Structure 1
Amino acid sequence: MTLHPKGFDMSLDRVLRVLDVLGNPHLKLPKVIHVAGTNGKGSVTAFCRALLEAGGHAVHVHTSPHLVNWHERYRIGVKGGQGEFVDDAVFADALRRVGEANGGQHITVFEILTAVGFLIFSEIPADAVILEVGMGGRFDSTNVVPKPAVSIIMPISLDHQAYLGDRVELIAAEKAGIMKKGCPVVIGQQEYDAALDVLISTADRLSCPLTVYGQDYSAHEEFGRLIYQDEFGLADLPLPRLLGRHQFANAAAAIRAVKEAGFAVTEAMMEEAMNTVEWSGRLQRLTEGELLQYAPDGAEIWVDGGHNPGAGEVIAEAMASFEERQARPLYLITGMINTKEPVGYFRAFADIAEYVFTVPIRGSESMIDPVILAHSAFDAGLVAEPSLSVVEALKEISERHMPEEVAPRILIGGSLYLAGTVLEDNRTPPK
């Protein structure tokens, strides 16, 4: 696989060329649920999968990036059961065939991997494909499906500004590029009115049946339960396994989207989905594994791949809610790559974090130097210092902790790549 030179034009031509040689597998898929947005794409994908599997459907799922192993990007649906990651031999064969179809021409790694997903999914029967956008939408290589059953646009905030624009309305326009004429669109909870206006106007222009969070459907907590509501009625559900109040709106978007895709959704399906949904590396608590030995006894260790200001806000809100239930000092162990905006991410934790340790991301050439990252944390009002690794940071926290003190809460985050190395080192990869 050959990466394009940096700055290469964004285009669908390369992936379409390869798909044509392969017999256009992207045109041979079952119902497609196409998911874009800055934050929440992975969570709403997980909720959609849990809902459909609760109904006995076989669901293929494409996500990116992987955390530990490449085959995590492709989950193969099983009728009446939970999907499983693609078999290594099937993945390797599809990769070989796509490489041969490309014939040595310029193409990006993500384009190759997207074509691999289309090829695999087209050859294994299923009831639905959940297709997560990699970046943006309009020129993302997943955006070759002509008539998705539904397009979902999750919360939009600043991220990938060099490629997508430096204002939320510009980013929204790129994300809205996955909408197709006449195909249903579900808009998730949006923080910015400017982004919402762009999404609504695009859907109107394309005559897309449109449902908007807060207008056509919603969810909230009431007496420790999740209340979902739309024009079809109200459902009284357990709180989702995925933690954080932001997951209420993500769950609601998934419920509405699966309905809009033409699947019957019962309250029993919703209840089972809330109890079974899983999504590694997103507010995931480490309760076992190799890394726990380096932390203070009784410490909580959380891993989250959120990496932009919008993600920082919802993760900080979740940490604050944990604090309300049980007060603990909060330490951050943070690594980021240089396409992100670290000060905005850190600012969300300014009033709740005790201390920050900044760390390198193993194997990443684009990581932010921990010394520079520590300065960003300082600029956001936090006390920070660089550390050599996550393990060394955990040891530092252990040395600072006094046995008579309440054990700390530790959040390891700032990058999906960091989350992946942590899960690998902890020997608890996604399943």
Structure 2
Amino acid sequence: MRLSLPLRMSAKSYQDAVTALNTLQSNYANIMAIRESGDRKNQMNIWEMQEWSRRIGYKVRDFNRLNVIHITGTKGKGSTAAFTSSILGKYRDRIPKVGLYTSPHLRSVRERIRINDDPISEDKFTKYFFEVWDKLDETSSPLDKFPHMTPGSKPGYFKYLTLLSFHIFMQEGCSCCVYEVGVGGEFDSTNIIEKPTVCGITRLGIDHTFMLGDTIEEIAWNKGGILKMGSPAYTIPNQPVAGYKVLQERAAERKTTLKTTPIFDELKTIQLGIAGDFQIVNASLAVSLASQSLTSMGLLEKPVALERDANIPNQFIDGLINTRWEGRCQTLKRGDSTWYIDGAHTKDSIEAASAWFKQVTSKSKNKKVLLFNQQSRDADALINNLHQVLDPEVKFDTVVFTTNVTWNSGSYSADLVSMNTSKDQVEKLVVQKALAAHWNKLNHQVGNVHVTPDIETSYELLKEFKGPVDIFVVGSLHLVGGLLVVLDNRT
């Protein structure tokens, strides 16, 4: 289904699209109001997404043509989506275009919407962005049913990008798409998909409690909301017992099956494209998801057997080896500095990333530096998790706590503007100063600890180190994205 939407592109640029998109971000006050309301079950999110889709010319059932693979979880869903997309890319002769929708982005918002693993181009992003924008301006919704959808209003930031992704993948003729859930599942804007070819649930953990609940059971209930009647589903081994029980209950409610994929032995013999021993779990789940989807589309006779010693097709192995996913156990060499970068921001992911850093630097005699921020979650708790994994084997010579602001001018890179944190707290370095004090308490002394107002200043500080140094960057994908922008600018 290809739409002929009016174009008003003559004077529109990619920067115009990014500027318009940033106006859709919720500000910090709105975020806090939602948290304080305790309104965790908002079915209106789904109804509004269905209505926004109608207004740009689609029935929700039209999206079934995308043969969506829908992935949720607390930890590893982005990596699993990347592995899955890479596997499908090895069937390019039969699937010419594979879509991938993930969040958040690191350098550019275009990274969220990929075709054949490449971010959508600036020209196409701009073209499709304003097609959707203009169509929403030209249409309306009944206010008795949708009181928030007043004339001229638009979806919020993430909803708009989700809507845009559907439009782009439909217009570009993608015949299979991998969708990573934003938050939760049941009420996530990606969950308007009616008939995914397969659903996947990665590691469950405690995160986004103000939206999903405080217990593993509540979180599992939300994650299990992506399960659909007739759509097979897979999860990983060793889920929390209480959470797994809820997932099985949700599968029964939805009249579908939830199977556990094993850790495939063959994957232990290859070097996965994303580093970290724990990635074998995500890669194994990706094998099950991709094989089930290819089977549903008639491109494989049957899914890969759920047995540890199963034979994995060569295309799958090639896809897993060649997966590229920045900001996750990523190593960059810049002069005498080796940057070990991971956007981990939950208990489980911080512990996994810290174990990775400890392993890969175990034989290194270089000085050690920690660059950390987490602006919106319980940063002290995450620092505790990191310290417990690394101490006493890894001792940092210097620790730097920074904000996610990109430049020392106090500005963000255009694609990284954030209105979802307290501007006052960021400017006064409230979180960073508290982290520095907490770190000193953990180490029972005042060490070489710095607080910086932005990532560029942190970079300039660390650049002064003499001799080789190992720098561990962790705590936030927003920090990682800003750092990559600064590194690109400097090198």
Please confirm whether the aligned pair reaches a TM-score higher than 0.5, indicating the same fold.
yes
Where does residue 256 of structure 1 map in the other structure?
288
The answer on whether the counterparts of 1:182 and 1:208 sit within 8 Å (CA) in structure 2 is yes
Pairs within 5 Å for 1:27-426:
27-28=62-63, 29-56=65-92, 57=95, 58-77=97-116, 83-103=117-137, 104-105=152-153, 107-213=155-261, 217-219=262-264, 226-227=267-268, 237-263=269-295, 264=300, 267-287=313-333, 292=334, 297=336, 299-326=337-364, 328-338=366-376, 340-350=377-387, 351=391, 352-354=394-396, 355-362=398-405, 363=412, 364=418, 366=421, 369-378=431-440, 384-394=449-459, 396-397=461-462, 403=467, 407-426=468-487
Over 6 Å off, 4+ runs: none
The answer on whether the counterparts of 2:329 and 2:342 sit within 8 Å (CA) in structure 1 is yes
**How far is 1:192 from its partner?**
2.2
**Structure-2 separation of matches of 1:399 and 1:91:** 39
Using the aligned pairs only, state the percent identity.
Answer: 25
Q: Describe the shift of the 1:257–1:428 C-alpha distance in structure 2 as closer, same or farther (beyond 3 A).
A: farther
**Structure-2 separation of matches of 1:246 and 1:137:** 23
The answer on whether the counterparts of 1:336 and 1:342 sit within 8 Å (CA) in structure 2 is yes
Q: RMSD between aligned alpha carbons?
A: 2.6
**Structure-2 separation of matches of 1:194 and 1:375:** 36
Paired residues, number: 395
Give 1 or 2: higher helix fraction. 2
**How far is 1:347 from its partner?**
2.1
Structure whose CA Rg is larger: 2
**How far is 1:189 from its partner?**
4.3
The answer on whether the counterparts of 1:308 and 1:344 sit within 8 Å (CA) in structure 2 is no
The answer on whether the counterparts of 1:335 and 1:360 sit within 8 Å (CA) in structure 2 is yes
**How far is 1:380 from its partner?**
5.3
The answer on whether the counterparts of 2:455 and 2:482 sit within 8 Å (CA) in structure 1 is no
Where does residue 48 of structure 2 map in the other structure?
14
**Structure-1 separation of matches of 2:120 and 2:356:** 33
State the one-letter code of the partner of 1:240: L
State the one-letter code of the partner of 1:247: Q
State the one-letter code of the partner of 1:269: Q
The answer on whether the counterparts of 2:181 and 2:190 sit within 8 Å (CA) in structure 1 is yes
**Structure-1 separation of matches of 2:395 and 2:247:** 35
Q: Describe the shift of the 1:13–1:32 C-alpha distance in structure 2 as closer, same or farther (beyond 3 A).
A: same
**How far is 1:271 from its partner?**
2.0
Give 1 or 2: higher strand fraction. 1
Higher mean C-alpha displacement, 202-211 vs 130-139:
202-211
**Structure-1 separation of matches of 2:380 and 2:347:** 8
The answer on whether the counterparts of 2:373 and 2:379 sit within 8 Å (CA) in structure 1 is no
Q: Describe the shift of the 1:329–1:398 C-alpha distance in structure 2 as closer, same or farther (beyond 3 A).
A: same
Q: Describe the shift of the 1:51–1:2 C-alpha distance in structure 2 as closer, same or farther (beyond 3 A).
A: closer
**Structure-2 separation of matches of 1:267 and 1:124:** 28
**How far is 1:253 from its partner?**
0.4
The answer on whether the counterparts of 1:305 and 1:419 sit within 8 Å (CA) in structure 2 is yes
Q: Describe the shift of the 1:166–1:381 C-alpha distance in structure 2 as closer, same or farther (beyond 3 A).
A: farther
